[in-house]
A and B are shown apart, each in its own frame.
Chain A
C-alpha cells in the first residue's frame, strides 16, 4: 500500500509513521504540509472533470497528521477532499459558539442549512438523500455506533470524487469536517495527554486525547462514529466518501490498540 502522510508540523507525525508501518507493513512517505503539492500534482482537483491526461494517483491513502491551530489555517487540503463542488460555506469560527456538551447543538442547524444544493457529479440521488438523513440533527446519526457503511464508489474509481481515501487524525479529522461545513470550536477544559475510554465495536477501548478544539457541529454528510462519555465526537466519517477521522490519537503510547484503530479505518475506507 502506498501511503502519503502529510505532516502539519506536528510532533506526533513520526509516531503515526511508525504506527502505520506496524499496521500495514508499508512505510509511508512523509511530506510537510507546505510541500504537499509536490506529492499531489496531477490529482484531479474537481470531481467529474476527469482529465484523461492526468496521471493516476500515486497513493492509495492520504493520512492527515495532527497539528496545531484550526482547520482554517490549512486550506491546502481542500482540493484533496472532494473538490470545490462539495465545498460549502463555512460557519465562521468566531460565531460558532456553541454548546459544549456535544455535537448536536444549535450550530448543527447552521451546518445543515449549508447542505450542498448541487450534489457532486457521480453521486446518485440516494446519496443525496443519505446526506440529508445523516445530518447532525438526526439522533440516529449521532448515536455512538461502530457500523460503517461501505463507500458509495470504490476508491480511486473514475466516479469517486475523492482522489484518494483520507484518514485524518485530530486536526486531520477537524479539517475533513470543516471542509463540509462542520464547526471546530474550543473544548471547555482542554484535554492533553490524558487517556479516555470509548465504547466502540463492542468493546471498551482506551484512547489518548490531545485536543483544545473539538467538532461542535458536523459537516454535511459527516457521520459520527463514536462519542466519549461527555458527548465529544471521537470518531467520524463521511457517509459516502472515503474520508474518516479520529479525534483521539491512535499513535500515542497511551492508546494500547493503535494498530487495531488503523486497520479498522483501512477497512472502513475500503482498503482492506
Chain B
C-alpha cells in the first residue's frame, strides 16, 4: 500500500523543498514554475528582474496575438500563413494512470532500482556498485542495451528499426498502466547512446554514462496549477526514508499567498518575488575564483567548422548540421543542486532537470520537448514532438537593440529561419513515423514563436507541433529509440550528418543533445532535448556545458558563432 502525503505550497517553497532533497541526492525534473508563462499577456513576474522586464512584457502583451492552441491546429506549413506567438511548451507532463493533467515537477528520492549503462567511472569505483547496477565497464550501446532498458522498464524488447533485431509480433501489446508516482522511472539517454546505431564508434573521452534510469522509494510531485505538493512512497521503502520525507514535507513553509481559486500564487504580494530560501538553505551565489577553461572550439575553430559543414552541404551530404562547442569552467566548489534551483528560479524553462551519478551531476535548463506520449483514458497513445529551430537575438549589440512587438513576426517571415525549422519538422515526422500509425502523423502550429524564458535571454525562437498516434504494437521506448537522438540538435539526413558532427567536434557531447526522461509505462513518457545542459564532476572540479547552432546553406559562420555564444549565456553568466 502506498503512502501519499500532501501539502499546498508556492514555487519558492517548493524550490527550497527541492533544494533540500537534491542536496541529499534526489533527482529533479522541473517544469516551468509559472503557469501563467503560457499567457503572453502576463508578465513573468520578475524573477529577480527589475521593473524594466515587466515593461517589456507589457509591450509584448500589447502585440501578442495569443491564440487558443486548439484552434490553431491544422495548418500544414503554408509559408504565407500568419504565425502564432505563444509561450514555450509547458514542460514535463507525466501522469500515471491519467490521474491528472498539466505540467509538474518531480523529485525522485532514494533510488530503489537503477540501470546505469556505459559509465566510464564504473571501472574505477567497483565498491560503489549498486545492487541493481550493471557494472560492466564497456557498455557500447546496441540491441543488448536497448533490451536492458526495456527490461528495466518492464517493456517488450524494442523492435529495432535500425538494427538486425528480429521483428516483433505486431499484435497490440497488453498495457499495464503505472498506478503511482513512485512507479515513474526518471533518467537520461546521453547523446552518445544514439551513435552506434548509426554506425559511429566514438572513442572520445567521456565523463558521463550512456544511459541512466532510476526508480525511487519516493517521488514528490509539485503541481504549479494547484500548488499541491504530494509525496508517493513505495510500500517497500525503508521506514526511516519515509519518515524523513514526511519531515521534509512538514518543513515546507505554507504558501505566501493563496488566490480565491485556491491556487498558490506565484508571486509575492509586491509582485516582485525573489528566491529567499528558509534558513539553512543558502541560495546559490556566483562562485568566486572560478577559472574559465579554453572551449573545445574557439571562435576561429568554430567558424572553420561551420565553413567545412557548408562545403558538405553544397556537396549534397547534409541539409542541416548542428555544430556545437564545449565550454569549461574550473569550479571545484560548485553546488550543482543550488545551481539547478537558481537557474530554475532566475531563468525558468519548461524542461529543467538535475541528476546525480556518484560525484557527478547533470544540470539541465532545457526549453525543448523531444517526445511526449500519453494515453488519456487508456485509449490510443498520442505522440507529440515540439522541435525548436530558428533564432532571433535582440538586445544591445544586435540589429534589434530592444524588444519590439514585431520581432516574432520578423523571425517567422525569415526564409532561412523558416527553412531551418521546416527541415527539422520533416525529419521529426520521419523519426516518429516508424512507430506511428500510417496516416496519423500531422503538423500543427508550424513556426509558432515564443520568447525564451527569462527576460535576460534576449532570444525569440520558433517551434512546431508534430503529432501522431503510437501504433498499438509499439511502446514509448520503441519510439524514443527510433527517433533518438533528436533531429533538431543533429541535422538531416541524420545518419551522414551524425558522422559529420562526430568528425567535426573535438569533444564528446556527453548528455548534451541527448534526452532527460520520465517514463511511467508503455504509453506514458515525456522526454526533453538536453540542450542548455551542463555537467559537473566533483573529482576534477570541472563544470562543462555545450552550445551549438544549426548550420544551413545560407549560414554565416560569424553569426552562428554569436548564436552559440548567446545560448551558452545561462551557465556562463551564472557560474563565471
Binding site for B on A (CB under 8 A): 9-15, 17-18, 21-22, 27, 66-70, 186, 189-190, 192-195, 206, 208, 210-213, 249, 251-254, 256
In this complex, which of A67, A189, A190 has the most chain B Cβ atoms within 10 angstroms of its Cβ? A190
User: Does B431 contact A14, Cβ atoms closer than 8 Å?
Assistant: yes
B: contact size bracket: 35 or more
User: Does B316 contact A253, Cβ atoms closer than 8 Å?
Assistant: no
User: Does B429 contact A253, Cβ atoms closer than 8 Å?
Assistant: yes
Provide the B402-440 mask, 1 if CB < 8 A to any CB of A, else 0.
000000000000010011101101110111011000110
Which one of B76, B316, B433 contacts A18 once the chains associate, using CB atoms below 8 Å? B433
Given known pairs A21-B438, A22-B438, A69-B496, the reply for A12 and B430 (CB within 8 Å) is: yes
User: Does B496 contact A68, Cβ atoms closer than 8 Å?
Assistant: yes
Task: Say how far B271's CB is from chain A's closest CB, in angstroms.
Answer: 43
Given known pairs A15-B426, A194-B415, A253-B426, the reply for A67 and B493 (CB within 8 Å) is: yes
Q: In residues 89-139 of chain B, which contact A (Cβ within 8 Å)?
A: none
Query: Which residues on the A side are within 8 Å of B552 (C-beta)?
Result: 192-193
User: Does A18 contact B441, Cβ atoms closer than 8 Å?
Assistant: yes
Q: In residues 547-576 of chain B, which contact A (Cβ within 8 Å)?
A: 552-553
Which one of A69, A206, A211 contacts B317 once the chains associate, using CB atoms below 8 Å? A69
Which one of B419, B441, B492, B553 contacts A189 once the chains associate, using CB atoms below 8 Å? B553
Task: Say how far A259's CB is from chain B's closest CB, in angstroms.
Answer: 10
User: Does B433 contact A14, Cβ atoms closer than 8 Å?
Assistant: yes
User: Does A68 contact B553, Cβ atoms closer than 8 Å?
Assistant: no
Is B314 close to A, CB under 8 A?
Answer: yes
Task: Say how far B418's CB is from chain A's closest CB, in angstroms.
Answer: 8
Give Cα A12–Cα B315 distance, bound, in whole angstroms. Answer: 19
Task: Say how far B451's CB is from chain A's closest CB, in angstroms.
Answer: 24
User: Does B430 contact A192, Cβ atoms closer than 8 Å?
Assistant: no
Is B319 close to A, CB under 8 A?
Answer: yes
Starting from the known contacts A12-B430, A69-B315, A206-B78, 9 additional A-B residue pairs (CB-CB under 8 Å) come to A11-B430, A11-B492, A12-B493, A15-B430, A17-B433, A68-B317, A69-B316, A212-B315, A253-B422
User: Does B438 contact A11, Cβ atoms closer than 8 Å?
Assistant: no
User: Does B496 contact A14, Cβ atoms closer than 8 Å?
Assistant: no
User: Does B422 contact A194, Cβ atoms closer than 8 Å?
Assistant: yes
Query: Which residues on the A side are within 8 Å of B431 (C-beta)?
Result: 11, 14
Query: Which residues on the B side are within 8 Å of A192 (C-beta)?
Result: 313, 319-320, 419, 423, 552-553
With CB as the reference atom, state the residue of chain A lying closest to B499: A68
Give Cα A148–Cα B193 distance, bound, in whole angstroms. Answer: 49
* The 8 A-B residue pairs with the shortest CB-CB distance in the complex, in nearest-first order: A14-B433, A193-B419, A193-B423, A212-B316, A192-B319, A193-B422, A11-B493, A21-B438
Query: Which residues on the B side are within 8 Å of A18 (C-beta)?
Result: 433, 438-439, 441
Is B487 close to A, CB under 8 A?
Answer: yes
- 26 A-B Cβ contacts within 8 A? A10-B493, A12-B430, A14-B430, A18-B433, A21-B438, A68-B317, A68-B493, A68-B496, A69-B496, A190-B316, A190-B553, A192-B552, A193-B420, A193-B422, A195-B77, A195-B79, A206-B78, A208-B422, A210-B426, A211-B316, A212-B315, A213-B316, A252-B426, A253-B422, A253-B425, A253-B429
User: Does A15 contact B425, Cβ atoms closer than 8 Å?
Assistant: no
Binding site for A on B (CB under 8 A): 76-79, 313-320, 415, 418-420, 422-423, 425-427, 429-431, 433-434, 438-439, 441, 443, 446, 487, 492-496, 552-553
Query: Which residues on the B side are within 8 Å of A249 (C-beta)?
Result: 426
Give Cα A68–Cα B313 distance, bound, in whole angstroms. Answer: 10
Which one of B76, B316, B427, B443 contacts A11 once the chains associate, using CB atoms below 8 Å? B427
Query: Which residues on the A side are within 8 Å of B316 (C-beta)?
Result: 68-70, 186, 190, 211-213
Task: Say how far A263's CB is from chain B's closest CB, in angstroms.
Answer: 15
Give Cα A173–Cα B443 distance, bound, in whole angstroms. Answer: 27
User: Does B493 contact A9, Cβ atoms closer than 8 Å?
Assistant: yes
User: Does B434 contact A212, Cβ atoms closer than 8 Å?
Assistant: no
User: Does A68 contact B429, Cβ atoms closer than 8 Å?
Assistant: no
Given known pairs A11-B487, A21-B439, A68-B493, the reply for A193 and B426 (CB within 8 Å) is: yes
Give Cα A10–Cα B419 distance, bound, in whole angstroms. Answer: 18
Give Cα A68–Cα B491 distance, bound, in whole angstroms. Answer: 12
Query: Which residues on the A side are within 8 Å of B415 (C-beta)?
Result: 194
Query: Which residues on the A side are within 8 Å of B314 (C-beta)?
Result: 186, 190, 212
Give Cα A10–Cα B76 distance, bound, in whole angstroms. Answer: 22
With CB as the reference atom, state the residue of chain B lying closest to A251: B426
Query: Which residues on the B side are within 8 Å of A68 (C-beta)?
Result: 316-318, 493, 495-496
User: Does B423 contact A253, Cβ atoms closer than 8 Å?
Assistant: no
Give Cα A66–Cα B496 distance, bound, in whole angstroms. Answer: 13
Query: Which residues on the B side are within 8 Å of A9 (C-beta)?
Result: 493, 495-496
With CB as the reference atom, state the residue of chain B lying closest to A190: B553
In this complex, which of A10, A186, A256 has the most chain B Cβ atoms within 10 angstroms of its Cβ? A10
Give Cα A67–Cα B313 distance, bound, in whole angstroms. Answer: 13
Give Cα A252–Cα B426 distance, bound, in whole angstroms. Answer: 6
With CB as the reference atom, state the residue of chain B lying closest to A17: B433
Given known pairs A10-B493, A13-B430, A68-B318, the reply for A254 and B77 (CB within 8 Å) is: yes
Give Cα A96–Cα B196 distance, bound, in whole angstroms. Answer: 37
Query: Which residues on the A side are within 8 Å of B430 (C-beta)?
Result: 11-15
Query: Which residues on the B side are within 8 Å of A11 (C-beta)?
Result: 426-427, 430-431, 487, 492-495
Give Cα A254–Cα B419 distance, bound, in whole angstroms. Answer: 10
Give Cα A189–Cα B310 distance, bound, in whole angstroms. Answer: 11
Give Cα A10–Cα B433 distance, bound, in whole angstroms. Answer: 13
In this complex, which of B316, B317, B430, B553 has the most chain A Cβ atoms within 10 angstroms of its Cβ? B316
User: Does A12 contact B438, Cβ atoms closer than 8 Å?
Assistant: no
User: Does A212 contact B553, Cβ atoms closer than 8 Å?
Assistant: yes
Task: Say how far B127's CB is from chain A's closest CB, in angstroms.
Answer: 44
Give Cα A66–Cα B77 distance, bound, in whole angstroms. Answer: 21
With CB as the reference atom, state the residue of chain A lying closest to B434: A14
Query: Which residues on the A side are within 8 Å of B434 (C-beta)?
Result: 14
Task: Say how far B168's CB is from chain A's closest CB, in angstroms.
Answer: 16
Task: Say how far A175's CB is from chain B's closest CB, in angstroms.
Answer: 13
Give Cα A189–Cα B493 distance, bound, in whole angstroms. Answer: 19
User: Does A253 contact B433, Cβ atoms closer than 8 Å?
Assistant: no
With CB as the reference atom, state the residue of chain A lying closest to B493: A11
Query: Which residues on the A side are within 8 Å of B438 (C-beta)?
Result: 17-18, 21-22, 27
Query: Which residues on the A side are within 8 Å of B429 (C-beta)?
Result: 14-15, 253
User: Does B493 contact A254, Cβ atoms closer than 8 Å?
Assistant: no
Task: Say how far B436's CB is from chain A's closest CB, in angstroms.
Answer: 8
Task: Say how far A71's CB is from chain B's closest CB, in angstroms.
Answer: 10
With CB as the reference atom, state the residue of chain A lying closest to B496: A68
Task: Say how far A206's CB is from chain B's closest CB, in angstroms.
Answer: 8
Query: Which residues on the B side are within 8 Å of A13 (C-beta)?
Result: 430
Give Cα A69–Cα B279 distance, bound, in whole angstroms. Answer: 62
Which one of B317, B422, B433, B439 contacts A254 once the chains associate, using CB atoms below 8 Å? B422
Give Cα A69–Cα B423 distance, bound, in whole angstroms. Answer: 17
Which one of B419, B425, B439 contacts A194 once the chains associate, using CB atoms below 8 Å? B419
Give Cα A66–Cα B317 distance, bound, in whole angstroms. Answer: 11
Query: Which residues on the B side are within 8 Å of A17 (C-beta)?
Result: 433, 438
Query: Which residues on the A side are within 8 Å of B318 (C-beta)?
Result: 68
Give Cα A63–Cα B316 distance, bound, in whole angstroms. Answer: 20
Give Cα A208–Cα B433 distance, bound, in whole angstroms. Answer: 19
User: Does A253 contact B443, Cβ atoms closer than 8 Å?
Assistant: yes
Query: Which residues on the B side are within 8 Å of A10 (C-beta)?
Result: 493
With CB as the reference atom, state the residue of chain A lying closest to B420: A193
Task: Say how far B371's CB is from chain A's closest CB, in angstroms.
Answer: 15
With CB as the reference atom, state the residue of chain A lying closest to B421: A193
